[in-house]
Amino acid sequence: MKKVEIATAIMNKLDELYPETHIPLHHKDPYTLLVAVLLSAQCTDERVNQVTPHLFALADNPAEMAKVDVDLIQDIVRPCGLSKNKSRAIHRLSEIIRDKFAGQVPASFEELEKLPGVGHKTASVVMSQAFGIPAFPVDTHIHRLAYRWKLSTGKNVEKTERDLKAVFPRERWNDLHLKIIYFGREYCPSRGHNPYGCPICSIHGRKSMFVEFDKNRK
Protein backbone atom coordinates (compact mmCIF):
# COMPACT_ATOMS: atom_id res chain seq x y z
CA MET A 1 0.00 0.00 0.00
CA LYS A 2 1.45 3.36 -1.01
CA LYS A 3 1.83 6.25 1.42
CA VAL A 4 -0.78 8.33 -0.40
CA GLU A 5 -3.26 5.47 -0.12
CA ILE A 6 -2.52 5.10 3.58
CA ALA A 7 -2.91 8.85 4.01
CA THR A 8 -6.26 8.82 2.21
CA ALA A 9 -7.59 6.01 4.43
CA ILE A 10 -6.41 7.89 7.51
CA MET A 11 -7.93 11.15 6.31
CA ASN A 12 -11.30 9.48 5.67
CA LYS A 13 -11.34 7.96 9.15
CA LEU A 14 -10.37 11.26 10.78
CA ASP A 15 -13.14 13.05 8.89
CA GLU A 16 -15.59 10.43 10.13
CA LEU A 17 -14.48 10.77 13.74
CA TYR A 18 -14.04 14.55 13.74
CA PRO A 19 -16.40 16.20 11.24
CA GLU A 20 -15.63 19.53 12.88
CA THR A 21 -12.51 20.64 14.69
CA HIS A 22 -11.86 23.66 16.84
CA ILE A 23 -8.59 25.13 17.99
CA PRO A 24 -8.12 23.83 21.56
CA LEU A 25 -6.43 27.04 22.72
CA HIS A 26 -8.89 29.77 23.64
CA HIS A 27 -8.25 33.06 21.83
CA LYS A 28 -10.07 35.89 20.10
CA ASP A 29 -7.60 37.11 17.47
CA PRO A 30 -4.12 36.44 15.99
CA TYR A 31 -2.34 38.12 18.90
CA THR A 32 -4.05 36.17 21.66
CA LEU A 33 -3.56 32.97 19.64
CA LEU A 34 0.15 33.73 19.27
CA VAL A 35 0.55 34.25 23.02
CA ALA A 36 -1.45 31.13 23.83
CA VAL A 37 0.60 28.96 21.46
CA LEU A 38 3.82 30.35 22.90
CA LEU A 39 2.62 29.44 26.40
CA SER A 40 1.68 25.92 25.28
CA ALA A 41 5.32 24.88 24.81
CA GLN A 42 5.88 21.96 27.22
CA CYS A 43 2.48 22.68 28.76
CA THR A 44 -1.01 21.27 28.26
CA ASP A 45 -3.67 23.21 26.39
CA GLU A 46 -5.93 22.83 29.41
CA ARG A 47 -3.41 24.58 31.65
CA VAL A 48 -2.88 27.36 29.11
CA ASN A 49 -6.65 27.92 28.91
CA GLN A 50 -6.72 28.31 32.69
CA VAL A 51 -3.96 30.92 32.62
CA THR A 52 -4.75 33.07 29.58
CA PRO A 53 -8.02 34.56 30.92
CA HIS A 54 -6.04 36.12 33.77
CA LEU A 55 -3.31 37.32 31.43
CA PHE A 56 -5.68 38.73 28.81
CA ALA A 57 -7.79 40.43 31.46
CA LEU A 58 -4.64 42.40 32.22
CA ALA A 59 -3.70 42.99 28.59
CA ASP A 60 -5.06 41.45 25.40
CA ASN A 61 -3.20 43.43 22.75
CA PRO A 62 0.45 44.26 22.03
CA ALA A 63 0.27 47.91 23.09
CA GLU A 64 -1.16 47.12 26.51
CA MET A 65 1.00 44.02 27.08
CA ALA A 66 4.13 46.02 26.34
CA LYS A 67 3.26 48.30 29.27
CA VAL A 68 2.99 45.42 31.75
CA ASP A 69 6.00 44.66 33.92
CA VAL A 70 7.71 41.41 32.92
CA ASP A 71 7.65 40.19 36.53
CA LEU A 72 3.87 40.54 36.64
CA ILE A 73 3.52 38.59 33.38
CA GLN A 74 5.81 35.93 34.84
CA ASP A 75 3.69 35.61 37.99
CA ILE A 76 0.57 34.99 35.88
CA VAL A 77 2.08 32.51 33.42
CA ARG A 78 4.11 30.61 36.02
CA PRO A 79 1.76 27.57 35.98
CA CYS A 80 2.65 27.04 32.31
CA GLY A 81 6.32 26.40 33.12
CA LEU A 82 9.40 28.12 31.68
CA SER A 83 7.78 31.30 32.97
CA LYS A 84 10.93 33.43 32.93
CA ASN A 85 11.62 32.87 29.25
CA LYS A 86 7.98 32.93 28.23
CA SER A 87 7.20 36.17 30.06
CA ARG A 88 10.20 37.91 28.52
CA ALA A 89 9.25 36.65 25.07
CA ILE A 90 5.65 37.81 25.43
CA HIS A 91 6.73 41.26 26.58
CA ARG A 92 9.36 41.72 23.88
CA LEU A 93 7.30 40.39 20.98
CA SER A 94 4.48 42.70 22.09
CA GLU A 95 6.86 45.67 21.87
CA ILE A 96 8.01 44.58 18.41
CA ILE A 97 4.48 44.04 17.09
CA ARG A 98 3.44 47.42 18.50
CA ASP A 99 6.42 49.32 17.12
CA LYS A 100 7.23 47.53 13.88
CA PHE A 101 3.87 46.20 12.74
CA ALA A 102 1.45 48.87 14.01
CA GLY A 103 0.02 46.47 16.56
CA GLN A 104 -0.90 43.77 14.03
CA VAL A 105 0.58 40.26 14.13
CA PRO A 106 2.50 39.79 10.87
CA ALA A 107 1.01 37.22 8.49
CA SER A 108 4.40 35.97 7.39
CA PHE A 109 6.43 32.93 8.40
CA GLU A 110 9.63 34.95 8.07
CA GLU A 111 8.48 37.80 10.31
CA LEU A 112 6.78 35.56 12.86
CA GLU A 113 9.85 33.37 13.30
CA LYS A 114 11.94 36.46 14.02
CA LEU A 115 9.83 37.24 17.08
CA PRO A 116 11.18 36.19 20.49
CA GLY A 117 9.98 32.77 21.61
CA VAL A 118 8.37 32.00 18.25
CA GLY A 119 9.69 28.94 16.44
CA HIS A 120 8.50 27.32 13.24
CA LYS A 121 5.75 25.28 14.92
CA THR A 122 4.28 28.31 16.68
CA ALA A 123 4.45 30.33 13.48
CA SER A 124 2.76 27.48 11.59
CA VAL A 125 -0.14 27.35 14.04
CA VAL A 126 -0.69 31.11 13.78
CA MET A 127 -0.39 31.13 9.99
CA SER A 128 -2.80 28.23 9.58
CA GLN A 129 -5.38 28.99 12.24
CA ALA A 130 -5.30 32.80 12.39
CA PHE A 131 -4.66 33.62 8.73
CA GLY A 132 -5.81 30.50 6.89
CA ILE A 133 -2.45 29.98 5.18
CA PRO A 134 -1.83 26.26 4.53
CA ALA A 135 0.66 24.89 7.06
CA PHE A 136 1.19 21.61 8.89
CA PRO A 137 2.39 22.30 12.46
CA VAL A 138 3.98 19.17 13.91
CA ASP A 139 3.66 18.57 17.63
CA THR A 140 4.62 15.45 19.59
CA HIS A 141 1.34 13.68 18.78
CA ILE A 142 1.65 14.28 15.04
CA HIS A 143 5.35 13.37 15.01
CA ARG A 144 4.63 10.11 16.80
CA LEU A 145 1.60 9.11 14.73
CA ALA A 146 3.25 9.96 11.41
CA TYR A 147 5.88 7.36 12.29
CA ARG A 148 3.38 4.83 13.64
CA TRP A 149 1.30 5.15 10.45
CA LYS A 150 4.35 4.75 8.17
CA LEU A 151 3.95 8.23 6.73
CA SER A 152 7.39 9.38 7.88
CA THR A 153 10.62 7.95 9.23
CA GLY A 154 10.24 10.04 12.37
CA LYS A 155 13.86 11.22 12.36
CA ASN A 156 12.92 14.83 13.17
CA VAL A 157 9.90 17.13 13.07
CA GLU A 158 11.17 18.97 10.01
CA LYS A 159 11.20 15.79 7.95
CA THR A 160 7.85 14.71 9.38
CA GLU A 161 6.35 18.01 8.26
CA ARG A 162 7.73 17.60 4.73
CA ASP A 163 6.53 14.00 4.53
CA LEU A 164 3.00 14.84 5.66
CA LYS A 165 2.74 17.76 3.26
CA ALA A 166 3.70 15.37 0.46
CA VAL A 167 0.88 12.87 1.11
CA PHE A 168 -2.02 15.05 2.26
CA PRO A 169 -3.79 17.61 0.01
CA ARG A 170 -2.59 21.16 0.63
CA GLU A 171 -6.13 22.40 1.17
CA ARG A 172 -6.53 19.93 4.06
CA TRP A 173 -3.35 20.68 6.01
CA ASN A 174 -4.92 23.20 8.37
CA ASP A 175 -7.75 20.98 9.63
CA LEU A 176 -5.90 17.67 9.43
CA HIS A 177 -3.17 18.70 11.84
CA LEU A 178 -5.86 19.44 14.44
CA LYS A 179 -7.69 16.16 13.76
CA ILE A 180 -4.49 14.15 14.16
CA ILE A 181 -3.79 15.86 17.49
CA TYR A 182 -7.30 15.08 18.76
CA PHE A 183 -7.01 11.49 17.54
CA GLY A 184 -3.62 10.98 19.20
CA ARG A 185 -4.95 12.18 22.52
CA GLU A 186 -8.16 10.16 22.39
CA TYR A 187 -7.25 6.91 20.65
CA CYS A 188 -3.55 6.57 19.93
CA PRO A 189 -1.34 7.35 22.97
CA SER A 190 2.37 6.68 23.06
CA ARG A 191 2.02 4.25 25.97
CA GLY A 192 -0.62 1.65 26.68
CA HIS A 193 -1.78 1.79 23.07
CA ASN A 194 -3.99 -1.08 21.86
CA PRO A 195 -3.44 -1.13 18.07
CA TYR A 196 -6.20 -3.69 17.52
CA GLY A 197 -8.75 -1.44 19.17
CA CYS A 198 -7.51 1.75 17.56
CA PRO A 199 -9.84 3.09 14.81
CA ILE A 200 -6.89 3.76 12.49
CA CYS A 201 -4.19 1.29 13.50
CA SER A 202 -6.76 -1.52 13.19
CA ILE A 203 -7.92 -0.53 9.70
CA HIS A 204 -6.21 -3.54 8.14
CA GLY A 205 -7.19 -5.99 10.86
CA ARG A 206 -4.78 -8.13 12.84
CA LYS A 207 -2.30 -8.03 9.95
CA SER A 208 -2.22 -4.26 10.11
CA MET A 209 0.93 -2.83 8.62
CA PHE A 210 0.71 -0.08 11.23
CA VAL A 211 0.90 -2.63 14.02
CA GLU A 212 3.87 -4.47 12.56
CA PHE A 213 5.72 -1.26 11.82
CA ASP A 214 5.20 0.04 15.34
CA LYS A 215 6.35 -3.25 16.90
CA ASN A 216 9.60 -3.13 14.96
CA ARG A 217 10.46 0.45 15.92
CA LYS A 218 13.91 0.76 17.50
Contact 27, 40 (CB under 8 A): no
Residue 179 has pLDDT above 50, yes or no: yes
Q: What is the mean pLDDT of residues 180-192?
A: 90
pLDDT the model gives residue 204: 56
The domain made up of 30-131 has a fold known as Endonuclease III; domain 1 (1.10.340)
Q: Which residues contact 103 (CB under 8 A, 6 or more apart)?
A: 61, 62, 63, 97
Give dist(CA 152, CA 155) in Å, integer.
8
pTM of the complete model: 0.85
> In the chain, where does the domain assigned CATH 1.10.340.30 lie?
30-131
139, 159, 165, 175: the catalytic one is: 139
Q: What is the mean pLDDT of residues 59-83?
A: 97
The top-level CATH class assigned to 3-21+137-215 is mainly alpha
Residue 1 has pLDDT above 80, yes or no: no
60 in catalytic set = no
139 in catalytic set = yes
86, 121, 179, 214: the catalytic one is: 121
> In the chain, where does the domain assigned CATH 1.10.1670.10 lie?
3-21+137-215
pLDDT the model gives residue 48: 97
pLDDT in tens, 114-168: 999 999 999 999 999 999 999 999 988 899 999 999 999 878 999 999 999 999 9
